[in-house]
Amino acid sequence: MVKVYLPELGENITKATVSYWYAEEGATVVEGSDLVELATDKAAFNVPAPCSGTLVEILAHEGESIEVGAVLGLIEEDTVSPEAEDEKEEV
């Protein structure tokens, strides 16, 4: 299981608020795509999916204030890459 962390956002920033998730629990996510949107002060920012797979659990829900370094959600990583899946389908 891959943990999605709230990254360091700069000096003196300890928290951010979850604005919304781009995916629901159980949805397939692709590495690098927008996963969750957060905000601190007047800055909105995205956290991309760290890997491709299934978003198994959302731990930080919309409107919640989260500490930097906290786990936002869990992704069950694909054991087969999307590229390999494509190749398989073509065969």
Partner 1 sequence: MIFRRSVYPVNRTLLTVDRFTMYTDCAFRVMNLGIIDYVEALGLQKSIVADIAAGRTPHTVITCQHLPVITLPPRAKNENILVSREELKRLGIRVFPTDRGGEVTYHGPGQLLFYSLFDLRQDEKDLHLYLRKLEQVAISALRDNFGLNAYRKEDLTGVWIGPYKVASIGIRVKNWVAYHGFSLNVEVEKKYFSTIRPCGMDIPMASINDFFSDAVSLETVRDMLISSFADVFQMRPKLTEHSERKFFIGRFDP
Which residue's CB is nearer to partner 1, number 28 or number 33? 33
- Measured in residues, the chain has a length of 91
For 75, phi and psi rounded to 5 degrees?
A: -120, 130
- 39, 71, 80, 84: residue in contact with partner 1 (rule CB under 8 A): 39
Which residue's CB is nearer to partner 1, number 64 or number 76? 64
State the Cα–Cα distance between residues 7 and 89, nearest whole angstrom.
36
Among 47, 44, 56, 49, smallest CA distance to 82 is for 49
Assess 40 for contact with partner 1 (CB under 8 A): yes
Assess 83 for contact with partner 1 (CB under 8 A): no
CB of 83 to partner 1, least distance (A): 20
What letter would DSSP give residue 26? Answer: T
Residues binding partner 1 (CB under 8 A): 8-13, 17, 19-20, 34, 37, 39-46, 48, 62-63
